[in-house]
Amino acid sequence: MMLGALSSLKGLRRNVGLLKSIVWDVEPKQLMEPRCSAPGAGQGQKKNLSGFFFYIERTGGAKPALYIMCHTESGCAETVGKIDEIPGDLLTEAVSENKGKEYFGMCPINKKIEDWLRKELGIPPREDET
């Protein structure tokens, strides 16, 4: 894990390239799926996902925590930051809302967390919401 300058909202705000590369509509299961299907499975090669993705970590019985992962087109992924400034009640609510979507201890964020992140990072709302 390469936690450093991206381990705070201030660090994220300074990284304009990262802010432009955030993908909001991907769940952990999609990130962790194999890139190719088994022969005969009928799906062929899956779409390459690349960019930065937020997720909630819930492993080891610890309190939920918000992380950001970098995922490259070649399929490499690394957690690059942890956001400690987020209110705990937002994380708890998102985990409860997304119980059935948890994958290997990773839970997707919900709309409230996306809205909170957009506000804190100075990213405008989606065009379809204005």
Q: Which domain holds residue 114?
A: 9-32+47-122
Asked if the structure places residue 108 within a domain, the reply is yes
Residues 76-113 have pLDDT tens digits of 888 888 999 999 999 999 999 998 998 888 999 999 99
Judge if pTM exceeds 0.85.
no
Asked if the structure places residue 39 within a domain, the reply is no
For the chain, the domain total comes to 1
Asked if the structure places residue 1 within a domain, the reply is no
Asked if the structure places residue 3 within a domain, the reply is no
Asked if the structure places residue 76 within a domain, the reply is yes
Name which residue leads in pLDDT, 1 or 82: 82
**Rounded Cα gap, residues 53 and 27, in angstroms:** 9
DSSP-assigned states of every residue in 48-113: P--EEEEEEE--TTPPPEEEEEEE-TTS-EEEEEEETTS-HHHHHHHHHHTGGG-BTTEE---HHH
Asked if the structure places residue 40 within a domain, the reply is no
DSSP 10: H
Asked if the structure places residue 77 within a domain, the reply is yes
